[in-house]
Structure 1
Amino acid sequence: MIGILVLTHEDLGDHLIRCASHVVGMMPRRLSHLGVFTQDDPEDVLIRARELLEQLDSGDGVLILSDMLGATPCNIASRLVRPDKVECLVGVNLPMLVRVLTYRYEPLSDVIKKGLSGGQAGVIQINAKESNHAN
């Protein structure tokens, strides 16, 4: 089973995990979050993230989900990547998290593909139908 670390600004990761747990109907194992707050030293967060990776890895690898390219959580995550062992997707959203939870028993490379497609497919524009317009 792939471990999952949601590494984000503040409590965003915690809230995403709570929402995903609601959607899948349980609190999944080997899933954790780490929030980066304004007052945090990135080096301290990096140390904590390494500790969490060790706890989350059952031998199949860990996928880090981060929120924003170029931001501190993503920069920390990029320092943790180890090809085929620890990988990272950036731009986490609820559909991405639910998708990786659903497929986490697959190989890490497949979970990455599923996460990317789920996250991208979850961002769409909804057009109102004419019959829904209030006059």
Structure 2
Amino acid sequence: MAKLNIVIGTHGRFGEELIKSAEMILGRMENVKSVSLLPSTSFEEFMHEVDSILGNLEGQILSLVDLHGGTPCNVFTALTKRYHHDVVTGVNLPMLIDLYLNVINSEVLDIDQVIQNCINTIQSSAIHTNKTVQ
């Protein structure tokens, strides 16, 4: 299995709960971490926390964040110069599950393809179910 660290950065505890929800379906997930921007956390504190997490990881890193242009996105993106990781916005449960299943079943990772798969999953996971019911 190729090693990819997945770090989820979100407003509030969304990332933590997203991991818990995915683990209800998949079981325990390895190499997946979250960092939460709480109302009491300053920009500098959040930057330090993310920097510390990224700095302690070995191997390739893919960062998933909730909102383009939000503080988690901005912090993770600013740290790409230091850690050379990729950042994808719009994290949701289908994306995390699909990403993890693809990663654990891969011997070699093409990070560009992994990222494109994440984006494809986000786009295809939004469905107006009223239109699908017969």
Same fold per superposition (TM over 0.5): yes
How far apart are 1:119 and its partner, in Å? 1.5
The structure carrying a bigger helix percent of its residues is 2
Work out the CA distance in 2 between the residues paired with 1:62 and 1:17.
16
Contact 2:55-2:83 at 8 Å conserved across structures: no
- Consecutive unaligned residues of structure 2, counting only runs of 5 or more, are none
1:118 aligns with 2:121: yes
Work out the CA distance in 1 between the residues paired with 2:95 and 2:18.
10
For 1:88-103, list aligned pairs within 5 A. 88-103=87-102
1:64 aligns with 2:63: yes
TM-score, normalised relative to structure 1: 0.84
Contact 1:84-1:109 at 8 Å conserved across structures: no
Contact 1:2-1:108 at 8 Å conserved across structures: no
How far apart are 1:95 and its partner, in Å? 0.7
Match of 1:4 in 2: 6
- Consecutive unaligned residues of structure 1, counting only runs of 5 or more, are 131-135
Task: Label 1:74 to 1:93 Cα distance change in 2 as closer, same or farther (>3 A).
Answer: same
For 1:1-135, list aligned pairs within 5 A. 1-24=3-26, 26-56=27-57, 58-59=58-59, 61-82=60-81, 85-104=84-103, 105=106, 106-127=109-130, 129=133
TM-score, normalised relative to structure 2: 0.85
Contact 2:4-2:62 at 8 Å conserved across structures: yes
Write out the 4+ residue segments of structure 1 that deviate beyond 6 Å after TM superposition. Answer: none
Work out the CA distance in 1 between the residues paired with 2:75 and 2:82.
16
Q: Percent identity?
A: 25
How many pairs are equivalent? 127
Task: Label 1:84 to 1:102 Cα distance change in 2 as closer, same or farther (>3 A).
Answer: farther
Task: Label 1:2 to 1:109 Cα distance change in 2 as closer, same or farther (>3 A).
Answer: same
Q: Flag the structure with larger Rg.
A: 1
